Amino acid sequence: MKEKCTLIISSLAYALEMIITIAMLIGTGLLCFRLICSIFHLMDGDPFEAYEHLLSYSMNLIICVELIRMMYYHTSDMVFELLVFALARQVIIDHTSAITSLIGVCAIAVLFATRKFLFTTHVLSADTDDEGDKKSEKENK
């Protein structure tokens, strides 16, 4: 009985997650269309302000797409990519201070270091590749 309830709750949570993902996908598609339409009005008024708005809007859409991918694939790589895009948006778009930008760059560096040294999928794939190379060398001899 407990297993059946767990299965039902898990299935329901997955279905709700997919409904939210589809709604986000539709909304992102509509906002992409709005972004394309706003490109034609880029030179109306202050070009720097328009460009900053366009860049901010584009980065928000990219983050939304990465969030959709993360909700669909459920991997640590997707979480990593989402965090990198969010931090990059913070560093590029928000012009607060040099210290804030430095902290953002350091945070991105920490994320890349974490990915390189702590993600087990990369370690396992590297070990597998080494074993595959050893096997192919033995087969060639």
Question: What percentage of the chain exceeds 90 in pLDDT?
Answer: 12
Q: Are 70 and 79 in contact (CB under 8 A)?
A: yes
CA separation for the pair 43, 65 (Å, rounded): 27
Q: What is the pLDDT of residue 39?
A: 80
| Residues 61, 35 contacting (CB under 8 angstroms) | yes
Contacts within 8 Å (CB) and 24+ apart, 3-6? none
Three-state secondary structure call for residue 94: coil
Nearest to 42 by CA among 31, 55, 30, 54: 54
- At 58-98, the pLDDT tens digits run 888 888 888 888 887 878 888 888 888 888 888 888 777 88
Pairwise CA distance, residues 114 & 108, whole Å: 10
Give dist(CA 76, CA 82) in Å, integer. 10
Segments making up each domain of the chain, as ranges: 2-140
pLDDT bin (cut points 50, 70, 90) of residue 121 is low
Q: What is the mean pLDDT of the chain?
A: 80
